[in-house]
């Protein structure tokens, strides 16, 4: 379970953000809020690109603040730059297993099977430029799946997709969260996404997380 | 391998000396020491009799060679400085870095009386304005004529701060006109197309046809006659006289082989070495017996040679340059 | 990666900072060595009355004007090429840009004079038409500006064209949809891209023009057109007044440094997206405008007059000589080999250092936004470029003074020339790489961090393929600058260590202007070979588009 406890961050001359949030395994939380409300900052803090000025971030009770991004139990899908455009699908996914990008036969088999799992069989040699928006998302997802991290962050994953693909992707995310027991945080400004995902929705306002209709104790007002 | 040995031959490097042969180090300007210059022949000639190994060190210019010795001071490796301009002799004497050469200068054929114990001349020439007979049929034959010529006669000269001929012209006009020099420059100014950093810059402008005359040497036509077979480049003789350009050699005070150095200077002014000078360095030799090629016969022989003493040149140089800058900047 | 208080990964920052510091130290150290030898800096000499002030003002004026004109012509040419031509036009522009750089200044001046001088092509044409000729109008500020534009406008044009080609297609589509006219296209589409690269380019060009010596004198018409470098040269050589030389060098360094710092204030963001298959040129709406056509025609004419014609003159001059005897001359071959070897080595070292510096620069982006290390990025830029403000003669003197106890400077000549060439090309390589590396960093940093892709794997897999084209340009540029450099080699060249420009200088100084012209042509060709060869090799097959 992810626990964000009073993680505080300020950009100079900017507003102060304080986050508190919990996400259980097998649960999806959708985070929404106006621009500039700190959504990306929260993701950066959880992933480890920024360090909070005070407060803590814990996974299963243990602080993860001292871990580098690669070592944290997090895999994140960003809005941009989620795939390397000059590398083929197989290499992109392989990078999730081995930062040298050279998969051995065992790993290649793993890649093949995960591609099947997300519905893109035989896509190994394709380049990201040849894929549609939804397909790119799925390849990135495949990579993150192979990393086998229990916490999954998705930053605006559906914004460039049409309704049908959105529904598909939402179904995929729900299935993966359930089957693998992931704790999933989805950042989205679209209120219908929470419904699609059947998730608990929280909102970021004035740098603080507020409850929504399905609020729970532990989320700070 | 073949190329390497070819290069070695071309550069005139001598056969590896025996371990106990003394090395005579000569600082000079690089065109003297290059394969086209007098260096290689003189080196071979001297090595035949000296039992030593002559090493030329080619610096970027004569001033560069002199400054290098100044920077090295007492620790200098140079035994001989070859190519000091006569206008810098005063500065050189003041450094205390040079020793007497003991060569008898009385027998030398130089246009002015020269008896300096520290500095021995080894070639000379005159500064002159050079022109192209195909483009100019009646060149001015005196400074007055040049000044009186219409302003569309364009000359190109060098900056005295960066080129020896430029400094030479400055001193030349001073020698002719004394304190009226600034006035002369004012009259000359409209005819000056431009002032260049080096001699090559202005000479190439002249060859391109941009300027009608260029400040160069009386010996420039000899090059074109001998090497290119062209006789349309000539120097204009000025009635007031031409200023001397003379190159000097000196023994360094901290030389490891002073006796050898003195012998070299003696050899340098001897007939064997001097015969090479005209067609490799394009200057007149100082030795009476040195043979002159025919082409030198057609060169301008100034009736008067103008020259300040080294001390006068040294004492006034800065002031003269400043005055020139003031006039040119008006 | 970055702490809330702005802590930053030192391992990524350190090599670049070290490289920049080394460059600045070598540049400043040379002056310091000279000052030390003189027993101090002659401060009054710096303010030596009206003469130095006048000279400084003129230097500033011609440098500023030259930069402005180069900017205008470069921009005009870039837009014209972008508007009217496709990939082949771009390739032509790139090649043209590579040629001017490599010319020794005097050769270029002679080329310009052949076209615009008293007895040049224009004069011949006007007299044939019975019109009054240019006469000696070239010799003065016009000549200086013409020459500086000749050298710098092509490079600027290439930089600007790359910026234009990098504008995402989406913006052009929008512009076409909205039917934007020339002025709107400039304001909304082009200017944002140009604005990012212009300050960096201008800084370098300003420095080059500021320190120009032989060129300014030769085409300037007289000592009224003296730059500060002339005064430094006089002090260092004729007067042997090292204190004054050091003082004036410091003045020059200070002025140039100030300009660089001012330019560093302008924000540089980076181009988003590649222009490889850029639609932009084809669909931009101002192609059909009459005003646009006219402007492009004018630019083309000016470009031909100022850049292409003198180049043609140089090429013709070279062809008229007995070019074919050159390869048989062992001295020539040796010089050619030396030049090529030094150029390639210099390019490799320069690219490595430039890469480290760009890496440091992009690592500083986030902390700078968080308010830490505020001026450091600007300082790094300054340090990498400041060598350009040091006169070659002072660097040579300083190097000699620093090394004379240690080793024989003639033996060290190759290393000195190599160092000087690296220092010379470093600022160009940094600016060539900066944009792409910064952009790729912004895009890939988080992903690489979360996937744990670091070090060699990151370089090989991610960075190099992405920045390959820019690296190719940086390498070719460094090689070309190195091959044409006649600064330090003039002081340390000898019969056993010759480069091509020095050979040219030697020959020319002995009346052998024909050989000099032939060697000039060889230099041009070599530069072309580098730009085609190195760019392709390092940059990949479509590197020069």
Q: What is the DSSP string of C139-183?
A: TTHHHHHHHHHHHHHHHHHHHHHHHHHTS-HHHHHHHHHHT--HH
Residues B316 and B280 in one domain: no
Optimal mutation site among B159, B188, B319, interface C, most CBs of chain C within 10 A? B159
Which three-class secondary structure state does DSSP give residue A19?
strand
Name C172's Cβ contacts closer than 8 Å, sequence gap at least 6.
C189, C279, C280, C283, C284
Q: What is the DSSP string of C85-106?
A: --HHHHHHHHHHHHHHHTS-HH
Chain B neighbors of C37, CB-CB under 8 A:
71
Three-class HEC string of B148-216: HCCCCCCEEEECCCCCHHHHHHHHHHHHHHHHHHHHHHHHHHHHEEEEECCHHHHHHHHHCCCCCEEEE
Optimal mutation site among A6, A99, A146, A155, interface C, most CBs of chain C within 10 A? A99
**CB within 8 Å: C495 and B194:** no
pLDDT band of residue C542 (cuts 50, 70, 90) is: low
**CB within 8 Å: C223 and B195:** yes
C274: closest chain A residue by CA: A85
Residues B208 and B283 in one domain: no
Q: How far apart are CA B176 and CA B239, in angstroms?
A: 10
Residues B202 and B316 in one domain: yes
Q: How far apart are CA C253 and CA C272, in angstroms?
A: 35
Name B17's Cβ contacts closer than 8 Å, sequence gap at least 6.
B23, B52, B53
Q: Within its chain, how far is the Cα of C222 from the centroid? A: 26
**CB within 8 Å: A71 and C4:** no
**CB within 8 Å: B10 and C330:** yes
CA distance C455 to chain B (A): 43
**CB within 8 Å: B6 and C330:** yes
* Sign of the dihedral through C-alpha C128, C129, C130, C134: negative
B188: domain CATH number is 3.40.190.10
Residues pairing with B242 in the sheet: B305
Optimal mutation site among A70, A83, A87, A147, interface C, most CBs of chain C within 10 A? A70
CA distance A173 to chain C (A): 20
What is the structure's pLDDT at A211? 52
Tally the C-alpha atoms within 13 A of residue C93's C-alpha that lie toward its C-beta.
32
Query: Which residue from C246, C286, C522 is spatially nearest to C395, judged by alpha carbons?
Result: C246
**CB within 8 Å: B72 and C404:** yes
pLDDT at position C62 over 60: yes
- What percent of chain B is modeled with pLDDT above 90? 65
Query: Which residue from C96, C81, C77 is spatially nearest to C528, judged by alpha carbons?
Result: C96
A44: closest chain C residue by CA: C446
What is the structure's pLDDT at A170? 87
Domain extent, residue B14, equals 2-124+245-297
Name the residue ranges covered by the structural domains of chain A. 2-73+149-210
- On whether the CB atoms of residues C51 and C44 are closer than 8 A, the answer is no
Optimal mutation site among A69, A88, A152, interface C, most CBs of chain C within 10 A? A69
pLDDT at position A81 over 60: no
Characterize A109-130 residue by residue with b for buried, 16 or more Cβ atoms within 10 angstroms of its Cβ, and e for exposed: ebbbebbebbebeebbebebee
* Domain at C1-33+321-545: CATH code: 1.10.3720.10
Higher pLDDT, B71 or C106: B71
The answer to whether the complex's ipTM is over 0.90 is no
Q: How far apart are CA C345 and CA A163, in angstroms?
A: 56
Phi then psi for residue B194, to 5 deg, are -165, 170
pLDDT at position B36 over 60: yes
- On whether the CB atoms of residues A4 and A19 are closer than 8 A, the answer is yes
Q: What is the DSSP string of C120-144?
A: SHHHHHHHHTT----TTTTTTHHHH
Residues B75 and B104 in one domain: yes
For C17, the token pair is 């900072």
Q: How many CB atoms lie within 10 A of CB B99?
A: 17
Q: Does C329 lie at the interface with B, CB-CB under 8 angstroms?
A: no
C372: closest chain A residue by CA: A12
Chain C neighbors of A70, CB-CB under 8 A:
449-452
Q: What is the arithmetic mean of pLDDT over A97-106?
A: 83
What is the structure's pLDDT at C267? 64
Q: What is the arithmetic mean of pLDDT over C209-226?
A: 87
Q: What is the DSSP string of B226-248?
A: III----EEEEPPTT-EEEEEEE
Chain C neighbors of A78, CB-CB under 8 A:
446-447
Q: How far apart are CA A97 and CA A108, in angstroms?
A: 10
**CB within 8 Å: A78 and C446:** yes
C486: closest chain B residue by CA: B60
Instruction: Tell me the pLDDT tens digit for each residue of B172-186.
Output: 999 999 999 999 999
B and A: touch, per 3+ CB pairs < 8 A? Answer: no
Which three-class secondary structure state does DSSP give residue C471?
helix
**CB within 8 Å: C5 and A53:** yes
CA distance C228 to chain B (A): 13
Q: How many CB pairs under 8 A join B and C?
A: 144
CA-derived radius of gyration, chain A: 17
What is the residue-averaged pLDDT of chain C? 85
What is the residue-averaged pLDDT of chain B? 89
- On whether the CB atoms of residues B185 and B328 are closer than 8 A, the answer is yes
Residues pairing with A154 in the sheet: A77, A186
Name the residue ranges covered by the structural domains of chain C. 1-33+321-545
Q: What is the arithmetic mean of pLDDT over C299-307?
A: 87
Name B147's Cβ contacts closer than 8 Å, sequence gap at least 6.
B184, B187, B188
Instruction: Tell me the pLDDT tens digit for each residue of C406-417.
Output: 877 778 889 999
Query: Which residue from A43, A37, A31 is spatially nearest to A201, judged by alpha carbons?
Result: A31
CA-derived radius of gyration, chain B: 20
pLDDT band of residue B6 (cuts 50, 70, 90) is: low
Q: How far apart are CA C469 and CA C245, in angstroms?
A: 42
Detail the DSSP E strand segments found in C163-265: none
Domain A2-73+149-210 has CATH 3.40.50.300: yes
pLDDT at position C273 over 80: no
What is the structure's pLDDT at A95? 87
CA-derived radius of gyration, chain C: 23
Which three-class secondary structure state does DSSP give residue B130?
strand
**CB within 8 Å: C233 and B161:** yes
pLDDT at position C500 over 80: yes
Q: What is the arithmetic mean of pLDDT over C382-407?
A: 89
Residues B200 and B110 in one domain: no
Q: What is the tally of structural domains in chain B?
A: 2
Q: Which chains touch A (3 or more CB pairs under 8 A)?
A: C
């Amino acid at each position: 379970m992810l626990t964000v406890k009073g993680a505080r961050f300020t950009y100079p001359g900017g507003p102060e953000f304080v986050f508190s949030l919990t996400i259980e395994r097998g649960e999806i939380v959708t985070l929404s809020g106006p621009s500039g409300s700190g959504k990306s900052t929260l993701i950066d803090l959880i992933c480890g690109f920024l360090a909070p000025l005070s407060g803590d971030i814990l996974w299963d009770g243990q602080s993860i603040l001292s871990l580098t991004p690669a070592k944290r139990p997090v895999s994140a899908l960003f809005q941009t730059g989620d795939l390397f455009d000059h590398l083929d699908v197989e290499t992109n996914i392989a990078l999730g297993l081995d930062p040298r990008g050279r998969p051995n036969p065992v790993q290649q088999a793993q890649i093949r099977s995960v591609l099947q799992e997300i519905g893109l069989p035989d896509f190994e040699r394709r380049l990201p430029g040849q894929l549609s928006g939804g397909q790119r998302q799925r390849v990135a997802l495949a990579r993150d799946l192979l990393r086998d991290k229990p916490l999954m962050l998705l930053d605006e994953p559906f914004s460039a997709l049409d309704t049908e693909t959105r529904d598909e992707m939402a179904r995929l995310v729900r299935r993966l969260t359930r089957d693998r027991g992931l704790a999933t945080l989805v950042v989205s400004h679209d209120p219908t996404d929470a419904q699609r995902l059947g998730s608990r929705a929280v909102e970021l306002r004035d740098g603080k997380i507020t409850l929504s209709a399905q609020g729970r104790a532990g989320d700070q007002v | 391998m073949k190329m390497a040995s070819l290069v070695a031959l071309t550069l005139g490097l001598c056969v590896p000396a025996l371990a106990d042969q003394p090395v005579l180090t000569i600082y000079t300007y690089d065109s003297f020491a290059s394969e086209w210059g007098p260096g290689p022949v003189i080196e071979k000639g001297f090595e035949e009799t000296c039992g030593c190994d002559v090493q030329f060190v080619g610096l970027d210019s004569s001033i560069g060679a002199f400054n290098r010795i100044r920077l090295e001071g007492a620790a200098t490796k140079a035994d001989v400085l070859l190519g000091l301009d006569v206008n810098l002799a005063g500065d050189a004497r003041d450094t205390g870095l040079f020793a007497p050469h003991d060569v008898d200068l009385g027998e030398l054929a130089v246009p002015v009386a020269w008896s300096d114990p520290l500095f021995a001349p080894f070639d000379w020439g005159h500064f002159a304005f050079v022109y192209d007979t195909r483009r100019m049929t009646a060149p001015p034959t005196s400074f007055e004529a040049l000044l009186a010529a219409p302003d569309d006669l364009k000359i190109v000269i060098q900056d005295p701060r960066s080129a020896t001929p430029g400094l030479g012209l400055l001193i030349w006009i001073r020698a002719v006109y004394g304190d009226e020099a600034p006035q002369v420059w004012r009259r000359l100014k409209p005819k000056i197309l431009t002032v260049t950093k080096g001699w090559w810059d202005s000479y190439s402008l002249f060859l391109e046809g941009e300027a009608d005359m260029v400040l160069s040497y009386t010996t420039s036509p000899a090059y074109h006659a001998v090497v290119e077979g062209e006789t349309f480049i000539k120097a204009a003789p000025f009635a007031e006289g031409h200023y001397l350009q003379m190159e000097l050699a000196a023994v360094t005070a901290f030389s490891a082989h002073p006796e050898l150095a003195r012998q070299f200077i003696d050899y340098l002014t001897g007939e064997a070495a001097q015969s090479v000078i005209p067609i490799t360095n394009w200057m007149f030799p100082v030795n009476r017996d040195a043979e002159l090629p025919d082409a030198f016969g057609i060169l301008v022989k100034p009736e008067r040679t103008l020259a300040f003493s080294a001390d006068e040149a040294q004492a006034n140089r800065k002031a003269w340059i400043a005055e020139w800058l003031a006039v040119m900047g008006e | 990666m970055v702490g809330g208080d702005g802590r930053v990964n030192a391992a990524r920052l350190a090599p670049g900072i070290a490289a920049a510091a080394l460059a600045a130290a070598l540049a400043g150290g040379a002056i310091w060595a000279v000052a030390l030898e003189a027993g101090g800096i002659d401060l009054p000499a710096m303010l030596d009355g009206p003469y130095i002030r006048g000279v400084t003002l003129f230097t500033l004026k011609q440098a500023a004007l030259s930069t402005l004109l180069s900017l205008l012509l470069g921009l005009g040419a870039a837009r014209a090429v972008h508007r009217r031509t496709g990939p082949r036009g771009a390739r032509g522009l790139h090649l043209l840009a590579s040629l001017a750089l490599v010319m020794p200044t005097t050769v270029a001046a002679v080329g310009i004079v052949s076209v615009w001088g008293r007895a040049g092509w224009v004069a011949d044409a006007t007299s044939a038409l019975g019109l009054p000729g240019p006469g000696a109008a070239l010799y003065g500020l016009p000549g200086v500006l013409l020459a500086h534009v000749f050298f710098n406008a092509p490079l600027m044009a290439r930089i600007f064209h790359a910026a234009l080609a990098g504008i995402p297609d989406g913006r052009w589509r929008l512009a076409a949809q909205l039917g934007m006219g020339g002025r709107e296209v400039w304001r909304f589409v082009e200017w944002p891209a140009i604005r990012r690269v212009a300050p960096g380019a201008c800084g370098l060009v300003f420095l080059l023009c500021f320190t120009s010596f032989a060129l300014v004198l030769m085409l300037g018409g007289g000592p009224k057109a003296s730059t500060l470098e002339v005064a430094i040269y006089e002090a260092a050589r004729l007067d042997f007044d090292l204190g004054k030389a050091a003082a004036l060098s410091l003045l020059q360094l200070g002025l140039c440094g100030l300009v660089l710092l001012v330019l560093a204030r302008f924000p540089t963001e980076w181009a988003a997206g590649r222009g490889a298959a850029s639609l932009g040129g084809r669909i931009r709406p101002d192609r059909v405008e009459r005003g646009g056509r006219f402007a492009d025609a004018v630019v083309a004419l000016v470009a031909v007059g100022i850049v292409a014609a003198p180049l043609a003159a140089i090429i013709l001059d070279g062809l008229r000589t007995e070019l074919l005897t050159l390869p048989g001359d062992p001295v020539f071959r040796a010089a050619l080999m030396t030049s090529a070897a030094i150029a390639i080595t210099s390019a490799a070292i320069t690219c490595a250092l430039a890469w480290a510096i760009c890496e440091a620069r992009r690592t500083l982006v986030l902390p700078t936004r968080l308010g830490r290390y505020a001026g450091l990025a600007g300082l790094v830029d300054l340090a990498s470029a400041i060598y350009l403000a040091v006169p070659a003669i002072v660097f040579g003197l300083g190097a000699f003074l620093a090394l004379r106890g240690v080793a024989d400077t003639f033996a060290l000549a190759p290393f000195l020339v190599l160092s000087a060439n690296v220092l010379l090309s470093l600022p160009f390589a940094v600016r060539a790489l900066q944009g792409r590396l910064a952009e790729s960093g912004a895009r890939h940093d988080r992903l690489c961090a979360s996937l744990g892709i670091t070090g060699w794997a990151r370089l090989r897999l991610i960075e190099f393929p992405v920045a390959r084209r820019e690296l190719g340009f940086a390498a070719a540029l460094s090689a070309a600058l190195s091959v044409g450099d006649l600064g330090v080699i003039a002081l340390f060249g000898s019969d056993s260590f010759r480069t091509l420009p020095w050979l040219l200088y030697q020959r020319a100084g002995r009346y052998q202007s024909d050989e000099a012209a032939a060697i000039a042509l060889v230099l041009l060709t070599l530069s072309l070979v580098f730009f085609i060869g190195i760019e392709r090799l390092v940059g990949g097959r479509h590197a020069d588009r």
